Structure 1
């Protein structure tokens, strides 16, 4: 067997019998198959154009969200028409459509929020803000010196309103008016800044060129604005006078103001913000004197209301005995109780000491209820002649038991 130089051939010299075997072996050897040609790659999907109306969705926020999902400059939003346009491949279009539908569905499921303003006194603004937040954690609460604005769902607003009414805090309905004050042009900006500081619930605008200050607010705020501008003009007309405002942690009245005026008879003092602000126009030494003794002056006023709001969940036993809380001990007589949602909780306005006593009271009434006694009948055979005497004796001994004597007098049924 000699391989030929041409490669794939053999020269075999052999007898006929062996040649037949060799031919069969060679025929059994498979010939190598040529390498298959690679398949042509599928062409990439072509982008298509689609537009999606966004409705009430915030267009800028939707665009940011979609671009995080599909980074492409071919996704844009027309803010005027609130329509999102996309020139991307079909799979990406499907993802965009699904995302927008999810956002619209989520927005539709959100309950409508409403804003309600309340006016309060005798309570620290930050304390009231904290208590409202504990009632409705998802609510937006903005508090000023004497007002609080609450934005929340309708159900939460009802809970907040019920709780605040227990503290004699009612929703505020304000009719705002507009008034323009004329001041010296060079003083218009300082006057505007002073009004913004003293009237946080009013809108103040300044025209420095003509010296006008525009104030839009309630009648009380407009009256206070007129007084502040008068004070400011007096301070500018007299050299060395200063205008100063002191925040008071408790409301003051006319008698307290008269005491302040006696201390600084040459200065002029006003009370603003329903007695929670002292406005003072005087020389520097007079202002400093009031600032120094203000803590002592405040000490003669009634203590600020330190009541806090706490929510107490009620157990089954406590709910069953809820009526007993309508008559409280003398130490708790002035606390405010409001039933919460589904009567499964109670909202309590009280001082810290009263809260501690109320918690102990709740613990005392959280005892297992006495199970009602069950009555069952039982029959007894009577083998006596005088059944009336027997029933009379049993009735005297067990007055709450019910006795029934059969007509023949031979059996007595007792329900006990």
Structure 2
């Protein structure tokens, strides 16, 4: 009896059969995935619009600060803005290709697309933009720590070590993903290794963010205590001095920014550990927007502003139309907005003339604790008291016309 050997099915036929079975089994997940990506796209575009508006506000607020445009923080924020723009273009193209140009609909396309995204090259582009945005945010955070600690290099050794680990981790994930190819997500062993590298990278980044934010807040709180101790020695000026102190606002904004980054990274870490693809897709869309919005909000909220009208006093000439600031408050504002002092106590001009770096660098004189600086503060306070004393006495002494009117009555 002759036995006929049937020819092996062709590769296109097997691929067609596999796609039919694969899509049939995972159709509910495909529906959910398409809806999640559509919602993430809408949220991402909305966050991009908010980020652009905040960036325009920041430029309008600081457009007069010419030296600010040539500083390291400006270059970092420009890098983050370019990364946001490129990532937005990639996201819009991905959405248009999936929802508009595929006749089978996004339900089937998203399954094949996210498994074979390497073939299109868009995953590589978005990963590059997100890694670059994180790089700019890390440099900006290190700069703040370096400036507020009076440019002491010892405080950035540990953050630099974490940062180097991040520089090694991001390219490692990127190269590993490309090396495994389009069927990477179906390889259980490769997926576990990928998740392990991702978890290590995000844990390191979270620790780095918390460490740098804690260093900045500790420095500002210690300076606040020193300023309060110096102001309590003068009961008349202490309340007015502490009422305008910017430390509390700086600490609050920095903690908010650090928590914004940390919560986003922790949420992504939870999605990786639990295997939630939907959560990872949403956070992938929003990562660069969160980084950009956090950095811009710090600059906008801590921009130096003129004192309120309640702090303006009438000039000694008696003209009700002109006002002058008290000497003590004027001296404090000049100290907070003009110059910085390095670790040796030598006064130098600040290269970043606006935003948080400019404000916190000027707080270094209060943290040095030298006798010369403390005596200068005492002289300024005494001068302010002696300056305002004659006018306070005049305000309590009745005029001669008032006395004459009272005697007549």
TM bracket (short chain)? under 0.3
TM-score by length of 2: 0.26
TM-score by length of 1: 0.25
Q: Of Structure 1 and Structure 2, which has the larger fraction of its residues in strand?
A: 1
**Structure with the largest fraction of helix:** 2
Larger RCO, structures 1/2 (Cα 8 Å, 6+ apart): 2
* Larger gyration radius, structure 1 or structure 2: 1
